[in-house]
Amino acid sequence: MGKDPISVFAAGVTHDPNIKALDDYDSVDISLIFPDNVLGHVDVTRKAVYGYDQRLEAVGDAGIANTHNMPQTSFVLGTVDGFHHDPGLYSFPTRYREAYAGELNHFLDLCLGVTKQIAYTGQELHNLTKILDACCESAKTGKVVKVDYS
């Protein structure tokens, strides 16, 4: 987005008694309001009976961009019952193999002194923490929360 959200609204529910015992949510919806009235939305659930699921979609004046779950293979079977394919790759390391390798290589480059430039700034990490804190507060209070970056 290039900018941090100015306010958030989050709602969470819990169905799983084990997660409820941790005073946590298993399903959460978050709306992020950015400067210039740009709206972002995140929905998260810890259970998808059809397999591990992650998608991203961005809609704007110039069009749409989206990603879908990567199946284990590209094989698709079409029958009178519809189209069937392998389930999606299960874990973060299998789905994002290249990203994990890049992060590990960056860390090693930092340790070995090959680079001194960290991929994220302290300010970016600070802001992310403030956004997440505001989301938690919103989910607990049921109110829109202005993100305080101080």
Q: Which amino acid is at 20?
A: K
Average pLDDT over residues 46-64: 85
How many percent of the chain have pLDDT more than 70? 100
Q: Over 80: is that where the pLDDT of 4 sits?
A: yes
Residues in the chain: 150
Which tokens belong to 103?
């992060």
The domains of the chain are located at 7-146
Average pLDDT over residues 79-106: 89
**Cβ 33 vs Cβ 39: under 8 Å:** yes
Calpha distance 5→145 (Å, rounded): 11
Mean pLDDT of the chain: 92
pLDDT bucket at 144, cuts 50 / 70 / 90: very high
- Specify the pTM: 0.78
Average pLDDT over residues 74-103: 89
pLDDT for residue 124: 93
DSSP letters for 33-58:
EEGGGEEEEEEEES--TTS----EEE
pLDDT for residue 128: 96
Is the CATH code 3.30.360.10 the one for domain 7-146? yes
